Structure 1
Amino acid sequence: MRFLLLLFIAVLFSGFGLAQPPQKPKLVVTPLTDRVFVHTTYGIYQNAAIPSNGLIINTSDGVVLVDTGWDTPKDTDNTRQLLQWVADNLHQPVRFCIATHFHDDRVGGISELQKAGVRVISTPLTAQKSVQEGYPSPDPILPADTTFTIGQVPIRCYFPGEGHTSDNIVVWLPSEQILHGGCFVKSVAAFGMGNVADANLNEWANSVRRVIREFSSAKVVVPGHEEWGDTKALEHTLHLLAKHAAAQRK
């Protein structure tokens, strides 16, 4: 009887070691206009599946991606799904991908893109930091502020100053009035600042104010994580920064 009781206890407690990690949902693609889509992939952060947003821009001269899927050097399935979605639904080649900073939710799938022959471009600082994180280097060709046109779609890449990271850029589509803020911009659904390990909390608010001045006409603002909306996300980011600073002073 004592043996059976001990066996039951051993089996009961062994179950605690078998807890399954959270499962990542599959890729979700959401249209913003007839040629711009949000690609949402998921990564695991603090034991929860977190959505990460990038853009798919469909032009007459091929597809431009803004950010890879949220991947790691050993698991690039999200970006593989992203390439498959483009092939199945847009039937156009991916011309290149713009990486907005060096974290794994922005450059994690770079090896998958390069394997598929897709060029990944970034600022020199993002390329340098991506290599330091163990990723292949993007092509470090983007200056701090530049506009180019692909298939009659103008795309502006703009470095507003340090914020979420020292290298974060935003991407502006003037013809669509869509701003991809990446992790530099917090969703109105966010209650906190999230990952600030590489942030410049002293400069972030100043950098956000520059974005507000430059892109006040934005109709859609896409943050790096969670739901998107309008320029309220920029004001909300300032609010969260002020709240975070106040908490740090206590």
Structure 2
Amino acid sequence: MISLFSANIRVLLVSFCLSTGFLCFSSAVQAQEKPLLIEKINSKLYLYTTFNTFDGTRYAANAAYLITKKGVILFDTPWDSTQYQPLLDSIKQKHNLPVIAVYATHWHEDRAGGFAYYNRIGIPTYATKMTNDLLKANHKAQAAHLVDINKTYKIGGQSFVLNFFGPGHSMDNVVVWFPEYKILDGGCFIKSSEARDLGFTADGDIKSWKPSLARLLTKYPQINMVIPGHDAWRDKGQIKRTEALLTEKQ
């Protein structure tokens, strides 16, 4: 009787998951096993996620791409080097458009690691002078072109701004603002609402991070959506969580 009861309970639980659409453990594992995830934010802006391991823990790295009339613009490169080309292929298959530019939000591997590959195949790469200087100092491939911070770029009917509000996660971290949608791609400057700590900070400035964040909020008091650099991104508590983690470090 007990074993039969247990079996029936298992069947009911599986049926419940399937019928209600809840994410069961097996489907969560399957999602994590996919090396590249692409999710729609709106008709022009998409979020893509790749994965890698740091200090023995597997993390998701979030990045964005923007669809314009001239082609697709990437903001940051995949963290997983095996996904540099599959990302291009997926975008081509999904939108029938080429990637025409790649911008990095700072110099670390999860943001600019694909520069060497994209330079080699002829896709223009962009970064701030500070990011390029840090890439050079760390013997990494640099962007082919420099960008101006706080300038509104208009490409193919879409616009975006790369802002530098000061050091934080890294000395060169910039954020990307999409004014038409009031969406902020925070990169690693903004932590996930589920983040337990500030993560890797050896190349940054924790003391300057909170004032830098305050300058961002002064510039953009109304933000519809924030994309954090890593992990969960759908919640709306990313900035508050980042502030809380920084307060703990004061």
Which secondary structure does the structure 1 equivalent of 2:161 belong to? Answer: strand
Alpha-carbon offset, residue 230 of structure 1: 6.2
Q: Which runs of 5+ in 1 are unaligned?
A: 1-22, 246-250
User: Is contact 2:191-2:241 (8 Å) kept?
Assistant: yes
Which residue of 2 is the match for residue 4 of structure 1?
none
Which residue of 2 is the match for residue 121 of structure 1?
126
The one of 17, 30, 35 equivalent to 1:26 is 35
User: Is contact 1:162-1:204 (8 Å) kept?
Assistant: yes
Bigger shift: 45-54 or 129-138?
129-138
1:102-181 matches, cutoff 5 A:
102-181=107-186
Which residue of 2 is the match for residue 191 of structure 1?
196
Letter in 1 for 2:244: H
Identity of aligned residues (%): 30
Deviations 1:64-83 (A, max 9, x none): 00000004xxxx21222211
Q: Which runs of 5+ in 2 are unaligned?
A: 1-31
| 1:210 maps onto 2:219 in alignment | no
The one of 77, 97, 118 equivalent to 1:68 is 77
User: Is contact 1:52-1:226 (8 Å) kept?
Assistant: yes
Name the CA distance, whole Å, in 1 between partners of 2:57 and 2:153. Answer: 38
Letter in 1 for 2:74: L
Alpha-carbon offset, residue 140 of structure 1: 4.6
Taking only aligned residues, the RMSD between alpha carbons, in angstroms, comes to 1.5
Letter in 2 for 1:57: L
Alpha-carbon offset, residue 126 of structure 1: 0.3
The one of 49, 52, 56 equivalent to 1:47 is 56
Name the CA distance, whole Å, in 2 between partners of 1:116 and 1:30. Answer: 25
| 1:240 maps onto 2:245 in alignment | yes
Name the CA distance, whole Å, in 1 between partners of 2:132 and 2:88. Answer: 22
Superposition TM-score, scaled by structure 1 size: 0.83
Which residue of 2 is the match for residue 248 of structure 1?
none
Alpha-carbon offset, residue 233 of structure 1: 1.4
User: Is contact 2:124-2:145 (8 Å) kept?
Assistant: no
Deviations 1:125-162 (A, max 9, x none): 10111122332111352223111101111111100111
User: Is contact 1:170-1:181 (8 Å) kept?
Assistant: yes
Which secondary structure does the structure 1 equivalent of 2:151 belong to? Answer: strand
Deviations 1:178-201 (A, max 9, x none): 100000001101011110111101
Alpha-carbon offset, residue 231 of structure 1: 5.6
Bigger shift: 128-137 or 117-126?
128-137
Letter in 1 for 2:240: E
Bigger shift: 131-140 or 51-60?
131-140
